[in-house]
Each structure stands twice: as structure tokens, then as C-alpha cells.
Amino acid sequence: MTALSLATSATIRKLAPGVLLSLAVAIASYLAAPLLKSLTGGRLALPDMVIALIIGIALHSAVMTPRFEPGMTFCVKKLLRWAIGLLGLRIALGDIIGLGLGVALLVVASMILTVVVAIWLAKALDRDAGFGALAGAANAVCGASATLAAATVVPDYKRKSADIAFTVVMANAISTVVMLAYPPLCVWLGYDARTTGIMLGATIHDMAQVVGAGYAVSESVGNTAVIVKLFRVFLLLPMVLAIGWYFVQQGERTGEAKVPVPVFAIVFLALCLLNSLMAASPALAASVGFPVIKSLLGEASKWGLLIAIAALGLGTSLKSILTIGWRHMAVFMGATFVILFLIIAGLKIAG
């Protein structure tokens, strides 16, 4: 065997235990999600990401050993970036252009201010600025996915893993609550179908809850909400880069944030442009089998994120989560109220 093959074999042996354990937790959570929903008659429906996080945290004390740690770190640091890059396939620029300049500017401004306020709140409440960035990104962009993406450029600090886990759980929990609360709020505010769709798509954290809230009102509301939400997902790349730039300006060491465009960001943007091209040329897309490729890569992205969050849970101590106090909750909820207020105010001004 050559030196290269020997080194590769050694790396695989080193990473395999942690990667396989994370994969096992991911598979268990994927199977448990529909089972839990069925057993509770639909009253308790948790996304597989949240279940993976919970299972991982429950197993932490038993598996946090030198044997599993390298593979788990690989999943959180490397696999996560690949999965985020593949999220670009969700975006088509044509749908975003159809929103109009006014709506786009409102969404962008509200997202930026949400992250800025979240970081300010974290500092004001004596929390780490990194947690403010995580909470801000979760509220401004797309919940768990944005939290994990922002974590790649937020500097390491003592409670970072616990803060990531807390933010993921909060994003899902609050997103589920507002999915039920925001449609009646839109009725009370007197919004028409288009305005309702804009409000839901611009304020709810996760895509699944945006879909649930929008299409529960009507198909037209759902369509508008999804497009607005996809625009926020499209802004994941610049938002992550902006967060990394902020910490670099503060003199923090953020690794990839010092590189103008990380590799996962290039992949994200390239796939977004490719998806836009194929959306504009259905015949070309069909001739090269793009729908099948997109579906496969979409599944790869989903599983990559699921495995990464399982690894994150495995590396997170329950004790560290339980010691999180009201200040963390205040930062996250503050960001949620900020983006809601900004969108409502912007829609009011727009008439």
C-alpha cells in the first residue's frame, strides 16, 4: 500500500466509530418521528432533527470518549458544511424576483436588524455575542439550518455546543407555536391573501412551519409564504458571511470566516444558479435528468444535516443545557418579537 492509501485508511478507521454512531442516531430519529406522531394520534409531532438532538444528548455521557469524538467532530465541522452547500438547490432566482423590490428590501432589512438586535441583547444580558448571532440567524433566516450554518463562523467559546443545541430546540418549539398563532393574527390585522403570505414567510423560523401555516389558510397564501421563505433561505450565505465578518472585525478567531468565500458558500451559490437555470429551461432539465439529481442531492443534504445534528447532540451535555437560564430565553424571544414587529410595521407603511 502507498503512503497515501495508508493515511486514508488510518483516517477512515479514526473517524468511522463517531460517524457510524451519529448515523445510527440519525436513522433512529428518522424512524421515530412518524412513529411518535402515530402513537400520539398526531398530538405530538416532532421533526426528526429535534428527535436526533434529544437522543444524542441522552447518550452523551455514555459515548463521549476518545473513540467516538473524532468522527462526531468531523460530522459537525465538515459534513455540516457540505450539507449546507447543497441547500442552494432549494432556491430559484425567478421566484424571488417575482416578489418585487419593496418586499425584498423589507425582508432584508428585517433580517439584518434581527441579527443586530440579538447580538446586542446577548451582550446586554451578559451572554456571549456568539449566542446572540446564533439566535439572530435562527430567527432571521431558517431556524435549525441557519443556526448550524452560523455556528461555522461563530468563534468557539465555552458554552457554544450547549447554545447551539438550545437554539435548535427553541427554533423548532417557537416556530410550531407561531405557526398556529400568526394566521389568526393576520386575520385580526386585516391582511389580504398576499400580505398574509408575506407576513408568514418573513417571520416563521422553519420551512415546514411556513408551509403548514400558509397552506392551512389557502393555496395562494401558501405559495406566497414559501417564495418569501425561500428568499430568506437564499440570504443564508450572505448572512453567514456577514456574521463571520463581524467577529473578525471584533478581533475574534473564526477560522473559515477569515476566508472571503468558504467552499460551502461557493457550492451553495453555484447550486442556486444551476437550479435557477434549470427552472427556466424545463426541457433542458429533463434531458439531463436534473429533477432526479436534485432529488438525490436534496436527500443527501437532509441526511447530512440530520447526521450533523445527531453528532452535535452526542457531544452536548444535558447538564450544560439545564443550566441555561432566562437570559438565553430572553435573547431568543427578543429576536422573534423584533422580526415580527419589523415586518408588521413595514407592511403597514407599505399600505
The pLDDT tens digits of the residues spanning 249-258 come to 876 554 444 3
Q: Pick the closest to residue 154 from 84, 265, 246 (CA basis).
A: 246
pLDDT digits (tens, 9 = 90+) for 178-192: 877 898 899 999 999
CA distance 256 to 245: 10
Q: Is the distance from CB of 1 to CB of 27 less than 8 angstroms?
A: no
- pLDDT of 333 reads 93
Name the CA radius of gyration of the chain, rounded: 20
CA distance 317 to 321: 7
Q: Pick the closest to residue 153 from 247, 75, 265 (CA basis).
A: 247
- pLDDT of 107 reads 93
- pLDDT of 28 reads 94
- pLDDT of 255 reads 47
Low-confidence ranges of the chain (pLDDT < 70): 1-7, 95, 176, 208, 211-212, 251-265, 318-324, 351
Q: Is 349 exposed, middle or buried (0-12, 13-18, 19+ CB in 10 A)?
A: exposed
Q: Is the dihedral of CA 238, 330, 174, 22 positive or negative?
A: positive
- pLDDT of 6 reads 62
- pLDDT of 77 reads 75
- pLDDT of 76 reads 77
What's the N-to-C CA distance of the chain in angstroms? 71
Q: Which helix (H) or strand (E) holds 145?
A: helix 143-151
- pLDDT of 124 reads 93
- pLDDT of 52 reads 85
- pLDDT of 114 reads 96
- pLDDT of 121 reads 94
- pLDDT of 229 reads 84
- pLDDT of 260 reads 37
Say how many C-beta atoms besides its own lie within 10 A of residue 290's C-beta.
19
CA distance 298 to 68: 27
